[in-house]
Amino acid sequence: MAIETATNVCSVAFCDDDRSIYEQRIEERGTHSETLFQFIDKLKQEHDFTITDLEAVLISQGPGSYTGLRIGASAVKGLLFQTEVPLYGVNTLASFAMRAVQQNPNAKKIHSVIDARRVHLYHQQFDYKDELLTTNDEVEVIPIEAVENMVRKDDIIIGTGLERIDKQVKEKASNYGPEELTAESLILLYQSKFEDFFEEVNPASFDPKYYTSNQVG
């Protein structure tokens, strides 16, 4: 099962033994605390599983919304309390890139972006070649203009930061906005064994990777 709460998208996805993926999702600011457990309960009822039946739980660990990430972290701590189910923290921007690859198998260079307020974006650049997703970049909080200067013809831009980018820059690229963001991408990263982008974490001490406002500048 995977949980995505890093942006205005709240999504929970479940993968069954046949590798079919089912999702509950909403894109609405300020509703995560109400809808997250509703989505989990609905999937449990519809697909007849308990938390202890799961192979693993995946959580989008940031960067992203401070509030959204904290809601997700609190949820998994409660869900996994006194269980042996492993928890994996997943790079949120890598999950965006995985979604871009799913939508466009010819992808080569992907810019994952989240709105960081003011004139900044969370950004990480990924490469896709020979069915491998890789990056040489760290997650950064950088000016929108700096991201725009990186985008080349036929690149992909994906994420909630898309709407902050200049129209002429977007015309050079393939674009995927918040409507494409989903917890399913966390499962696909995990199944593809792209281990650079997820790590096993202790549920009791798990803390998301968010940036505070003074890091945005």
Q: What is the CATH number of the domain that holds 79?
A: 3.30.420.40
Residues 22 and 69 in one domain: yes
Which token pair is 191?
């199944």
Residues 77 and 26 in one domain: yes
pLDDT tens-place string over residues 53-91 = 999 999 999 999 999 999 999 999 999 999 999 999 999
pLDDT tens-place string over residues 112-159 = 999 998 899 999 999 999 999 999 999 999 999 999 999 999 999 999
Contact 179, 27 (CB under 8 A): yes
Residues 41 and 122 in one domain: no
**63 upstream amide cis, omega within 30 of 0:** yes
Residues 85 and 189 in one domain: yes
| pTM of the predicted model as reported, rounded to 2 decimal places | 0.95
**Domain total of the chain:** 2
Residues 191 and 166 in one domain: no
Which residues sit opposite 175 in a β-bridge? 157
Residues 76 and 113 in one domain: no
Which token pair is 93?
């921007």
Taking 60 as the threshold, does the pLDDT of residue 212 lie above it? no
Residues 190 and 146 in one domain: no
Residues 82 and 10 in one domain: yes
Residues 112 and 82 in one domain: no
Residues 6 and 86 in one domain: yes
CA distance 61 to 69: 7
Which token pair is 159?
């994420």
Enclosing domain of residue 143: 93-180
Residues 185 and 86 in one domain: yes
Give the pLDDT band of residue 211 (cuts 50, 70, 90): low
Residues 124 and 164 in one domain: yes
